[in-house]
A and B are shown apart, each in its own frame.
Chain A
């Protein structure tokens, strides 16, 4: 596709070449259109459904565009579940896990990227390999452990779990970020006699701030979307998140046989919107963060 422009001088500008180029353009735009359609269709459907009056929601065949729009589903949602409580919980858990995981990962990543010591490769490997331990397979012992120390249904407990979950990936990414930075400034500070804390806070943090910001954003999204830990460890309104609320709506027996799509779509949209805003604002950072570790 980009090759075409490169090939131009060789092929010349005969009509045949022009025709081929024209056809290629059309095919390219068709492909882009198809891609957008496939990616956006579910989003469109959830979004438009949340504004569709309930009586129009279950029509056969489905209406692609409702004849009127309403906010009724959102009002019903707030009346049926502790929506704002869940929202607040989701925010606290996501921010908490994101900040904690990035702080711990930053310290560890700095040691792995900069300090030469025996076993550093091994520890890095342990972090990476521990990604493979399935979250679901460790739930039972974790539940027992949490019962023992009284952390079930506590925000702090869930934040610890979610931070741990995203920690290895964060360490991995931050190590590649830090390794790319020039070492001279730190060297100079060290020679000047700065201690570890001074070095980290005054020298390293200002330089890696973009990387730290990136990981805070990415980890926020991952933690915001997390289901399993809150589902198991958040057992009351005080700690339940939006993802748990959504799942509960789907299986709530008091809602009758059908699933309450009106409420579920409204909840889904409320849950997607912060994430979409973050993606739109920080697209570049997110892409750099997600591809950093994988490309090293």
Chain B
């Protein structure tokens, strides 16, 4: 990452969100962050989500980005197309299998429960609430992470685990965020006990 291009990196997340919603933000970030950043899958975006409605997808995309946001270190879940990963997985679930159909329904209901909670807390659907209020909704459900009871709290666990899986198995997550150096032939010093260690 070049020091000459601090502009996009220095944007606070709030500023980024102000600039535009959704995938449009990804383009300047991807350009700034170099070739490893996930390219904007224009064709994919144009085709639209395969499982969720457009509105559900926007909500999901925002939730994933709130869970793993772009920060000064690397792009977040939106750039890593985590929502598209979740959408594709669920689209692939054959509803003829009861367990898969239940999971599909649980995701739709889960997104609904987040909206519902937002209405209860702020009198507005999640995507219509301010950034601050959205974070407050997530803080509410995340507080009960270890002992989730309400539908929204339970959904948060599922949402977070799929988001983490989608993100940390993506190009952005592996190469930019985690800077993983493996999966290549190592020069040879992976083996051999270092003097003094045993």
- A-B complex is real: no
Query: B interface vs A, CB < 8 Å?
Result: none
Interface residues of A (CB under 8 A from B): none
